[in-house]
Structure 1
Amino acid sequence: MRRLLVLVAALTLTACSQPAPKAQEQPPAPGFPVTVDNCGRKLTFDRPPSKVVTGYHPSLETLLALGLGDRIAGRTYFGESAFLPGQKEQYDRIPQISGTIMLPQKEVMLSQGADFVLDNAMASFDAAGGYATVEELDAAGSPVYILGGWCSPEEVLRFTIDDTFTDLRNLGKIFGVPDRAEKLAGELQARLAEVKQRVAGRTPVKVLATDGGKGPVNAYGGAGVTNQMITMAGGENVLADVKADYTEVSAERISAAQPEALLVSDYATLRGADMPTSPVKAEEAFAIARNSPAARDKRYLALPVAAQHPGYRNLLAVADIARFLHPDAFDQ
């Protein structure tokens, strides 16, 4: 028995000492490699990703808009979210790997074997929350791309709508469909140009963008994506001088703002959860600004919160907001 153990040990040592066979490197695919910049990192791809994991809703719908649904191997949960036309059916076909809008915890995420990860912010990559970090995923061969460059609080404030066009073109390069991405970008730019033409010369509507609260109020200031959508749609953010994207504002400030219309963040994903619905949040704001034109007319638009994060829907939402603020401009 002792000799057998010695022999097994010797064989084991011999096996361990043999160099592991090297994986044969494949040549780059036609049109590759491609390199894009994201979050201060250079991401290089030798071939289009084929096993993608997407995070919060806008990342999924952006890839679906580019016709890349067949590349998505896993997605997070959106429940009763406000899906864009035709996308719910595609969502249902993609395996769900997380029961929330966040990416799964570290072990589950690393086990996916993804060759690309797309999300909208850094929250799903926080080690303190039990998530795999960007560095850990990079090391595992799962490079991370953050839409809109929302890589830090400062970069959230610096976001511009043009960053969404940059994302579309970058994704077109990464997935080997640059012509498709350019065509989509061109269509969306034409849509924004039409909105600009229709609202040109009209008096901007004073808008309060709120996420509810009886005081302080969760609202959107003069930096970031929501403020830009309001401006492009022919509105004037009544909190434009507040240098923040999402922040708390006193009830007194909201009362004095005299908004003519509200945009109310709609968390359709969480309907049924213990949180206010859009009508409830609108009524809260009307009660605070009870002498305002918005309160008098009960004028508000429920805006899917997915549109208030970087992604394809930003560009669609501008037209929706413009039709709400200036309906007569679209009657022609």
Structure 2
Amino acid sequence: MRRPPRPVPVLRKALALVAALALTACSAAAPAPTPAARRTAGAAAGFPVTVENCGRTLTFDRPPAKVVTGYHPALETLLALGLGDRVAGRTFFGESAFLPGQKEQYDRIPQLSPTIMLPQKEVMLAQGADFVLDNAMASFDAAGGYATVEELDAAGSPVYILGGWCSPEEVLRFTLDDTFTDLRNLGRIFGVPDRAERLAAELRARLADVRKRVEGRAPVKVLATDGGKGPVNAYGGSGVTHQMITLAGGENVLADVEGDYTEVSAERISAARPEALLVSDYATLRGEDMPSAPAKAAEAFAVARNSPAAEHGRYLALPVAAQHPGYRNLLAVTDLARFLHPDAFTR
């Protein structure tokens, strides 16, 4: 379902098969200065700024002005920070579940790739970007024809990976606190630290409200699934989806299963007897190998046919973008809590 470095990256894998790259011929953004010009232009007020990401030290003498974003959670995080005017190019996002007010901004930004992957090496290097933001390392794999992190750094296009999803091991170590770290780092990089702190404070208040509402309530047993009749693609006891379930007042029935996105036997799913399902939803990215959320829910209900979830047909379709590092996963905790404990939100 998801992008590498996950063990079964169905979404990335399927979309990466698209052979033709539809490119927007021109951008309204002004040409970016050359790397040499950036180095000699001098530091802006409040700069230089230095941050750590993926074991690398990134230093900025001025806020980025020509940004390219990868998979959509990267773009919507910048939009949430009010930085849409800095984005000169983006990848495709076919899911219908745009965050409020963001579809219009998305449509105004030139599309550089018809998939969620960044464009191929030559196209990417030709953008002259002064910052690249993405959610994983898949779009920087030389074997796939992409510009590497090192090549983009050398071209004056430093790469930042949200959530520190820089390796399979780091995906498992991810916590929602890493999203707050990203907001703080991006605020500093773009010279808007106060704006980032205000957004972080709003999000922390939302999470505190959820905790207060679900406190003392019996956790709802949740199976988070991406479909399959056996083995079932599901979410174990590590990573972002497990944390969202827990914060929302749920109990992940696969909490003792090692890993984040993994395969689980039908027998294990049946024995778990979930009370509710959380189903990854790709919306308009569906294809023959990407069934709809209702179809995936039906598969899980058939496997766990003796469960309370199947008896009541209880499931929530969660946009898959919320299961990747970015601003959206913090918002999704509230949506999940409302689904699991609707009576806690009547006041």
* Residue 293 of structure 2: aligned partner: 278
Equivalent position SS for 2:133: strand
Equivalent position SS for 1:97: strand
Change (3 A) 1:253 1:176: same
> Which letter maps to 1:229?
M
Work out whether residues 95 and 319 of structure 2, in 8 Å CA contact, stay in contact via their aligned partners in 1.
no
Equivalent position SS for 2:64: coil
Give the superposed CA RMSD: 1.3
Shift of 1:80: 3.9
Work out whether residues 157 and 244 of structure 1, in 8 Å CA contact, stay in contact via their aligned partners in 2.
yes
Q: Does 1:316 align with 2:331?
A: yes
Work out whether residues 205 and 325 of structure 1, in 8 Å CA contact, stay in contact via their aligned partners in 2.
yes
Cα displacement string for residues 237-260 of structure 1 (whole angstroms, at most 9, x for unaligned residues): 000001200000000000000000
Picking from 221, 227, 230, the partner of 1:215 is 230
Larger radius of gyration: 1
Shift of 1:81: 3.3
* Residue 151 of structure 1: aligned partner: 166
Shift of 1:274: 4.5
Q: Does 1:105 align with 2:120?
A: yes
Picking from 306, 311, 321, the partner of 1:306 is 321
1:257-296 alignment runs, 5 A limit: 257-271=272-286, 274-296=289-311
Q: Does 1:46 align with 2:61?
A: yes
> Which letter maps to 2:129?
A
> Which letter maps to 2:83?
L
* Residue 160 of structure 1: aligned partner: 175
How many residues are aligned here?
312
Given the two structures, how large is their TM-score scaled by the length of structure 2? Answer: 0.88
Q: Does 1:224 align with 2:239?
A: yes
> Which letter maps to 1:287?
A
**Structure 2 alignment gaps of length 5 or more:** 1-35
Shift of 1:264: 0.1
**Structure 1 alignment gaps of length 5 or more:** 1-20
> Which letter maps to 1:192?
L
Cα displacement string for residues 63-106 of structure 1 (whole angstroms, at most 9, x for unaligned residues): 00000000000000012431000000000000000010100011
Give the share of equivalent positions with the same residue, in percent. Answer: 85
Picking from 247, 255, 269, the partner of 1:240 is 255
- 1: distance between equivalents of 2:61 and 2:188? 11
Picking from 97, 101, 109, the partner of 1:86 is 101
- 2: distance between equivalents of 1:144 and 1:294? 42
Equivalent position SS for 1:208: strand
Picking from 136, 140, 143, the partner of 1:128 is 143
Given the two structures, how large is their TM-score scaled by the length of structure 1? Answer: 0.92
Equivalent position SS for 1:53: strand
